[in-house]
A and B are shown apart, each in its own frame.
Chain A
Amino acid sequence: MRFSYVWRELTLRRRRHLTATLGLAVGIALLIILQALAGAYQQAARAPLAEIGADITIQRSGDVPQNLQGAVFPCSAVTIRKHEVEQISRMSGVRTTGQALLLWVFDQEQFTMVMGVDPDNALGPGKLRNFVLKGRFLEGEGGQALVESTYAKEKQIEVGDTVTILDSPYPVVGLVDGSRASKIALANVYLPLSEAQALAVASPQVQGVSPFTMGDVNLVFMVADQAAIPSLAVALKTALGDKTSVATPASFLRQLGNLFALSDKFASATFGIVMVVAFLMVFKTIAGGIQERAREIGVLKCLGWTNANINAQLLAESLVLCLLAGIVGVGFAGLVCYGLSFQELHIPIPWEMSPTPHFLPGGGEPVFKTVRLPVQLSWPLIGLALILSLTVGGLTSGLCIGRITRIKPSEVLRHE
């Protein structure tokens, strides 16, 4: 194989090779773009859960409380028993779990969303420890409160003040930026989990909807093996009943709806069609080239080139052609992906994961998590594309070996 021969063959007869190069480049670019787009949607779908460090959130819906008085459960989140939490923590694929208790508290014409947080667990609302604006995060047990900064500003609450929840005073130990947490972890006041559990146990409205004892919760956060998430989602539903709402990246993908479905489902089909067309174009070019170059191949055989020598030369031409196409395709895909990365994606958050009461301003409006579409070229994807390009080159060349062998050295004399 001689590289200068390969290179000049491709550049001096570029008209023959241009169509095949562009065809394959388009195929490779489509492969990369569709894969990157599908990956971006999948990554974006993780965003709402990633903010709270979880792969799965678990809630159980229940009845609407008869009286909105005192501490009540949002109807999207009623009791998950302590033994149930322990049971699902032992499921295969589960790495770690966290838990919280969300309550709506109606107290003397004042409404407060209260969340009980396990101060020692970084999952779920525990992530808020990174976004404390003033004071400190909750520590240990006992009466203390962390107040969401917007709510604190509205109510003119400062660190050192006291908030009263159902006649119990809680000293404010810190203010936290709730906008940095996922909607599911958003509340006005955060209490130690045991304090919130005590409020729930004492509430007839809570007990009337769903019996609750110390140790029970109504929100569970889970980190799991990525491969196990789909089967875990099914197992959780089975274990906790039909009313259980299990949020996973896949459920957010479903929320994204048609756009993702199009990019995901059409990705393989479109890619397949384009690659077949590109393969045929390259094959036509290589095979056509062999036909056109029968005299030249005859000359080479005359001059002592064996079939293996000629096959190696044409294989090199084919591989370089396809590699160039791959590089062009990667470059083109890079430009398109760069452009797409400026697009914003609005991920719908289901109400049960953002249970703001309807009677509050904005409570009934759809909630979205807006992220920039994280489209990016990964090295494995680029590598795959280039390997695929070379495979096309190798395959087409391999399929042409028979044609090369059939050309006789005396072919050269037919053109005299």
Chain B
Amino acid sequence: MNDSILAASDIRKTFGDIEVVKGVTVALQPGEFVCLVGRSGSGKTTLMALLSGLERPTSGQISLCGKDIVASSEDELALFRRANIGFIFQSFQLIPTLTAWENVAVPLFPEKMAEEERRARATSLLQQMQMEHRLDHLPGTLSGGEKQRVAIARALINHPKIIFADEPTGNLDSQTGQAIIEILTTLHKQQGLTILMVTHDLELSKSADRLLRMQDGALVP
């Protein structure tokens, strides 16, 4: 547990009278690729939000990269996320008015950094994603698969210690989805990235080192 990159202990989250996450305890080791699976409404996205510091638990402790994220302020958490975490979302969540390379570089905008360096880092990642021909295109002109590649590049721009992916293939056809999973698997294997991926697709979860099943707000064996 002490070596865990992510350790959560008895975390609970209630919205009004409804307890969405019920006393979850979980740990991820560095370099692990873990899939969190469960039916729609099982609470897996809320659990991911709690574990990544996007949402605060009603009770419980969470340590991420050695930081107690429950006790941190919102701005402290923002800076922490910028330095340590990458996010990939189902709906890509690209900024529609920024080009592909600018979207990738968004986490770097608040940093004091030369524009050339930002662009070089973003371009390099987009080249890895075979998106070099789309650097200056707005998201509206990209296909779903291309948008998700841009989103993956964005998640990698700050050299994160852990990536949280929420249904990253949910809005893609199966072939494109498979390609995205291959990219994540390659990143995990080649760079030793820790990944926590939320999905309801058991087929996709086969790529993971470990499977966490969620049901009615709790992890089940």
Contact = CB atoms under 8 A, between A and B. Distances in A.
B110 interface: yes
Given A308-B75, A408-B55, A410-B55, A303 B87 contact: yes
B54 A5 contact: no
Nearest to B106: A303
Contacts of A12: 96-97, 138
B185 interface: no
B110 A305 contact: yes
B91 A415 contact: yes
A109 interface: no
Interface stretch (A96-104, A218-226, A292-300, A384-392): A292-300
A304 B91 contact: no
Contacts of B82: 303-305
A306 B110 contact: yes
B78 A304 contact: yes
A5 B45 contact: no
Nearest to A300: B106
A5 B81 contact: no
Interface of A: 2, 4-5, 8-9, 12-13, 295-296, 299-309, 408-410, 412-413, 415-416
Contacts of B154: 303
Interface string B38-73: 000000010001000011000000000000000000
B167 A413 contact: no
B95 interface: yes
Which range contains the number of B residues in contact with the other chain? 20 to 34
Given A4-B102, A304-B110, A408-B55, A9 B49 contact: no
B54 to A, nearest CB: 4
B93 interface: yes
A309 B85 CA distance: 18
Contacts of A9: 97
A186 B45 CA distance: 93
11 contacts: A5-B98, A12-B138, A295-B93, A296-B96, A299-B95, A300-B106, A301-B74, A304-B82, A408-B54, A410-B54, A416-B167
A350 B167 CA distance: 86
Nearest to A9: B97
A302 B79 CA distance: 10
A-side interface mostly: helix
Contacts of B109: 2, 5, 305, 309
Contacts of B85: 304
B96 to A, nearest CB: 7
Which 3 A-B pairs give the minimum distances between C-beta atoms? A304-B82, A8-B97, A410-B54
Contacts of B54: 302, 408-410, 412-413
A2 B75 CA distance: 20
A309 B110 contact: yes
B97 A299 contact: no
A5 B89 contact: no
A398 to B, nearest CB: 18
B74 A307 contact: yes
Contacts of B78: 301, 304-307, 309, 409
B184 to A, nearest CB: 18
B124 interface: no
B177 interface: no
Given A409-B81, A410-B49, A413-B49, 9 more contacts: A2-B109, A5-B95, A303-B82, A304-B81, A305-B109, A307-B75, A413-B45, A416-B89, A416-B166
B215 interface: no
A122 to B, nearest CB: 64
B29 interface: no
A305 B98 CA distance: 16
A409 B48 CA distance: 13
Contact of A306 (B79, B91, B97, B106): B79
Contacts of A2: 102, 109
Contacts of A413: 45, 49, 54, 89, 166
Interface string B147-173: 000000010001000000011001000
Q: Name, among B85, B96, B109, B166, the residue most crowded by chain A CB atoms within 10 Å (CB to CB).
A: B109
Contacts of B217: none
A300 B75 CA distance: 12
B17 to A, nearest CB: 19
Contacts of B75: 306-308
Nearest to B171: A416
Given A5-B102, A8-B97, A8-B98, A304 B79 contact: yes
B83 interface: yes
A301 B79 CA distance: 9
A2 B115 CA distance: 10
Nearest to A412: B93
A308 B170 CA distance: 33
B90 interface: yes
B89 A304 contact: no
Given A303-B81, A305-B78, A416 B90 contact: yes
Nearest to B83: A304
Given A4-B102, A5-B109, A409-B54, A302 B81 contact: yes
Contacts of A300: 95, 106
